[in-house]
């Protein structure tokens, strides 16, 4: 069995799932969000975190056991650009996640408009950073960065 192919497929499926969940969070987190949508948003946000963890685990396994070898990745600037972008995205998820969990726990009506707006800014920044990840991935796939 071609394990490198299996790992690449698993990694790509996890990443596309992550982007889909991110799109759902992007769409749900909007002005005028009500209590029922907050509950749904909390579930989507939890799934976002879980799938991000899966992307990391599969990515690490791919780096260690993939055909390219870990030396290729550790010495590749495009890889580190991709990892930096992923880390920045992860850090940008923290404030909205904290807010969403607080709103869900309170369970009382619509969250404050200023908090929704602040969380949306973080999600919009994540969307901007997300654009760099496939660019770095494409560079890596073509041997750039080594």
| Residue 33: Cβ-neighbour burial (10 angstroms; 0-12, 13-18, 19+) | buried
* Whole-number Å distance between alpha carbons of 68 and 84: 20
For tokens 């495009």, name the residue: 78
Question: Average pLDDT, whole number, for the chain?
Answer: 94
Grade residue 141 by pLDDT with cuts at 50, 70 and 90.
Answer: confident
Instruction: Report yes or no: 11 and 59 within 8 Å, Cβ to Cβ.
Output: yes
User: What's the pTM?
Assistant: 0.90
- The residue extents of the domains of the chain are 3-141
Closest CA to 79 of 6, 146, 9: 146
Instruction: Report yes or no: 10 and 60 within 8 Å, Cβ to Cβ.
Output: no
- Reported as a single tens digit per residue, the pLDDT across 107-129 is 777 899 999 999 999 999 999 99
pLDDT number for residue 143: 87
* Whole-number Å distance between alpha carbons of 142 and 139: 5
């Amino acid at each position: 069995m071609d394990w490198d192919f299996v790992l690449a497929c698993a990694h790509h499926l996890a990443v596309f799932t992550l982007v889909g969940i991110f799109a759902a969070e992007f769409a749900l987190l909007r002005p005028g969000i009500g209590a029922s949508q907050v509950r749904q948003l909390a579930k989507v946000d939890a799934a976002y975190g879980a799938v991000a963890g899966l992307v990391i685990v599969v990515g690490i396994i791919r780096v260690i056991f993939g055909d390219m070898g870990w030396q290729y990745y550790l010495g590749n600037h495009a890889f580190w650009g991709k990892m930096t972008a992923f880390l920045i995205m992860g850090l940008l998820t923290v404030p909205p996640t904290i807010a969403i969990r607080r709103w869900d726990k309170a369970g009382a009506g619509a969250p404050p408009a200023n908090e929704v707006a602040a969380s949306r800014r973080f999600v919009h920044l994540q969307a901007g950073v997300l654009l760099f990840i496939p660019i770095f991935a494409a560079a890596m796939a073509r041997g750039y960065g080594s």
